[in-house]
Structure 1
Amino acid sequence: MASHQFINGVYYPCWRIYRGHAPSSLQLDAISHVYYAFVLVNHDGTLRFLDEHADCAIAADGEKGCLSALAKLKSQRPGLKTLVSIGGGSGSAEFPVMAANPAARVTFARSCREFVERWHLDGVDIDWEHPETPHDGVNYMAMLRELRQALPSPWFQISTALPVGQYCLKHIDLAATGQLLDCLNLMGYDFNGPWTDVCGHHAQLLPPAGRLEHVYPRLRNSCHGGVEYILSRGFPARKLVLGIPVYARAFEGAHGIGQPFKAAHELEYNELPPEWIQRVSVDRHAGAASFVDNSVGGKGFVSFDVPATVERKAQYVREMGLGGLFYWTGVGDVKGPDSLVRTGYRALHGIPRPA
């Protein structure tokens, strides 16, 4: 794969405009795709704004609303691909009903085409979290077929975000999906969190060495496991894009993998103390990093990606012939040598770190 073909995409959450992060705050010279998060779907297939003020009215980069600001950026950078991401972790409840209704699927596809043309976007990203039954899987495929008919290739792009877990993937015809999609954004994160019994790395490339995963099977979850499964089902490697979390998961009261914890917290990468990033412990086998905050009232075991783990994941992408990397989120990153987005871009394209 020629280096210029690698995707290095970021999700831009519209609500971050309230913290001063307009679309122009992204490190655009290191980004190929921007996924605008989120727009929501109704049961009848029509679309609705998640936050109409942020999307269409608030001052952003000299425009009214973040969608106009993104369109302005695209006009200034013709090579930039922009897609609207529909759904999200708290916005997916309507997908099963909509996708099960043939008329609603047609409406949805038509609504997506109208939205893309209105806001000068390149396509649509489906973030249905998650199709978890055989029935959902069949309807998911029917929805994608309708969407592709309304947004024909190569003029429009369609991507989807899916987890590494077979609880979802096993219900989807991945080979057929590979014929319909331009990209599958594999959410290689959230393997451990407040919903688990013990702490662990939340975005490991490979399971950590040792035997803890035999006691706690969830610790076996890994990016590689998801990649292997998807490729084994006939999905094209060049269309598979690996996700990087630009946030940490902290497990209060724990000091190492496999330990119980009192509470769990989420911290954006740019909220982490710089010394944590500098003093982080990197497990090069697992492609994961952690810091233990033992201070009074500290966060405990904290799992997050750093430039060294992003470089490892970019190397993996190149070795496996995958399509690139994406980041949730682009606005959670930092500028300078500790930037995850810029590190990924350099590593994918074989650009050495600045001295």
Structure 2
Amino acid sequence: MLSLLVYAPLLLVAPAAAAPSLLQKDDVQSGPGGGACVVATITVTETVWTDPTPAPTVAGAGPEVSPLVFTDKYSPAVATQPALGNPASPDTYSAPAPAPEQPQQQYTAPAAAPSPSVASSGPAAGPDVAEPEGIDTTDHFKGSYTNALYFTNWGIYGADYQPQQLPVSEITRVLYAFADIGSDGEVKSSDAWSDYQKHYPTDSWNDQGNNAYGCVKQLFLLKKQNRHLKVLLSIGGWTYSPKFPPIAATEAGRQKFASSAVKLVQDWGFDGIDIDWEYPSNPTEAQNFVLLLQACRAALDAYAAQHAPGYHFQITVASPAGAQHYNAMDLSGMDRYVDAWHLMAYDYAGGWDTTSGHQANIYANGANPASTKFSTEQAVRDYISHGISPSKIVLGMPLYGRSFESTGGLGQPYSGTGGNPQAGGQGVWLYRDLPRPGAKVVYDDVAKASYSYDENTKELISFDTVDSAVAKAGYLVSRGLGGAVFWEASGDKKGSESLVGTLADRMGRLDSAMNLLSYPASQYDNIRKGMPS
């Protein structure tokens, strides 16, 4: 079971004199002014993650830009479907409580909205099925926050990160990435073995009937044990995104997408969908994205009316932080159907640039503009100006770093990106492997961002630390944002250095709205029966 994570950026370098416009980047803005960097020297031991099995070279693996990408995987022989390629003195804030997101409100589709019927391949609930649990419609989210975490179906291979390792007490939403899209619009599994075939040690080989195993079963068990935990199916990602435009362009394609997405939600026992289309590029595609979301909302509501009255299945969107991308989208039109915007506030700098820089800074640093060509604050301002409620914006944070070699420092030219091949390709290091031995960690108190620098090797790595995570927690609270979302689970550390845990602690009250456990139309016997012991 081998994996090769593909996270390398799409190498689009603008001319030196041109304003930055690199894929998922936002416009340059003036920062809050100059300021000194706080330097902390940290002594670490070697913590490089190694995989005893070398990853294969994947023919045709193309360049990527966003960490929201797939992996080129090699599944074991039992797989029936080929796995396709795809990815200590903190600042404090005193701020009013945010205006919360309202995920439990029931959306009512307009009369003109399509209401496709949802096919049910599973048998109707029979006498062996317990009565569906009553739906708790109390708005537990009011005054509380989302702490969401992407979990990848390829992470079970090279990273050896299994669903059972998810920090369920610290998160409210799991985004299971990624589902594939067929040429007709069908949303489908991208890795059958990982998704629903793999037997874990606790799984019996003697079960009767048609049952789901793999990550799907384990995620359902986590939902059953942690009723606040919602699981959403993330569809698309960088590698599969080229499949969106043709299927979203037709009514038939949109209806197929919506009905098949809901089919997976009902079969796998999920609580909604997350759409990661990177990115609509013209007004026609922007309008088609709105229509696609409308179809999905109608299909989810139709399913809920029939099988889960009173329950609201969520729709979230992995949304860009680059102005050239979000300005090409109909944000206000989409917002009618979107419960949360997962703002991908990272990859502001990387191997596609001519200078090193912060990859996930909150603000621009006017004293070193080359280091902060883009910022989260500008993206948040722009989303709000398009009518998006701050409480629906969920701040994306990276659990990885972007590296620059042979550089004199932040905002300086570099030569090469290095990185740990096991972490996702050129120029990428998992947060859990940082800082590198001999490196000094620097916190930029103006940009609210961290990086490490090795004076001997001249390697600089931009990554979030506990200090920058604390600053981001304060920022999202002060801005009234809806919470945080992380890419991706296998990169985090444990204990006091966990960024996911840091946000959970700093945000305080987390969303406790109950998930759904009743899926009477699932084709899988164990999910339809509620995963009996």
TM-score between the two structures when normalised by the length of structure 1: 0.92
Alignment of 1:1-355 (within 5 A): 1=98, 5-18=144-157, 19-60=159-200, 62-63=202-203, 64-152=213-301, 155-210=312-367, 212-213=369-370, 219-264=372-417, 265-273=427-435, 279-295=440-456, 298=457, 300-349=459-508
- Aligned partners of 1:39 and 1:84 also within 8 Å: yes
More strand by share: 1
Change (3 A) 1:17 1:211: closer
Q: CA–CA distance in 1 between the matches of 2:312 and 2:182?
A: 26
Quick one: percent identity of the two aligned structures? 34
In the TM superposition, what is the alpha-carbon distance from 1:198 to its structure 2 partner? 1.4
CA-based RMSD: 2.0
- Aligned partners of 1:255 and 1:292 also within 8 Å: no
Q: CA–CA distance in 2 between the matches of 1:137 and 1:176?
A: 9
More helix by share: 1
Q: Which has the greater radius of gyration?
A: 2
Q: CA–CA distance in 1 between the matches of 2:166 and 2:455?
A: 33
- Aligned partners of 1:158 and 1:182 also within 8 Å: yes
In the TM superposition, what is the alpha-carbon distance from 1:130 to its structure 2 partner? 1.2
Larger relative CO (CA 8 A, sep 6+): 1 or 2? 2
Change (3 A) 1:53 1:255: farther
- Aligned partners of 1:33 and 1:81 also within 8 Å: yes
Change (3 A) 1:350 1:312: farther
Change (3 A) 1:121 1:61: farther
- Aligned partners of 1:11 and 1:327 also within 8 Å: yes
**Paired residue secondary structure (2:290):** helix
- Aligned partners of 1:62 and 1:69 also within 8 Å: no
Q: CA–CA distance in 2 between the matches of 1:252 and 1:274?
A: 13
- Aligned partners of 2:368 and 2:411 also within 8 Å: no
| Offset from partner CA, 1:201-257 (integer Å, 9 cap, x none) | 0000111231534xx8xx331111110100001011111000010000010111322
Q: CA–CA distance in 1 between the matches of 2:200 and 2:352?
A: 36
- Aligned partners of 1:283 and 1:289 also within 8 Å: yes
Amino acid at match of 1:236: S
Change (3 A) 1:316 1:22: same
**Paired residue secondary structure (2:289):** helix
**Paired residue secondary structure (2:179):** strand
Q: CA–CA distance in 1 between the matches of 2:438 and 2:428?
A: 15
In the TM superposition, what is the alpha-carbon distance from 1:276 to its structure 2 partner? 7.2
| Offset from partner CA, 1:106-152 (integer Å, 9 cap, x none) | 01000011100101100000011111222211111111111111113
Q: CA–CA distance in 2 between the matches of 1:69 and 1:193?
A: 35
Amino acid at match of 2:396: G
Q: CA–CA distance in 2 between the matches of 1:211 and 1:291?
A: 16
- Aligned partners of 2:289 and 2:334 also within 8 Å: no
Amino acid at match of 1:347: R
- Aligned partners of 2:492 and 2:499 also within 8 Å: yes
**Paired residue secondary structure (2:253):** helix
- Aligned partners of 1:199 and 1:260 also within 8 Å: yes
Q: CA–CA distance in 2 between the matches of 1:177 and 1:5?
A: 24
Q: CA–CA distance in 1 between the matches of 2:354 and 2:288?
A: 33
Structure 1: which 5+ runs fail to align? none
Q: CA–CA distance in 2 between the matches of 1:6 and 1:255?
A: 40
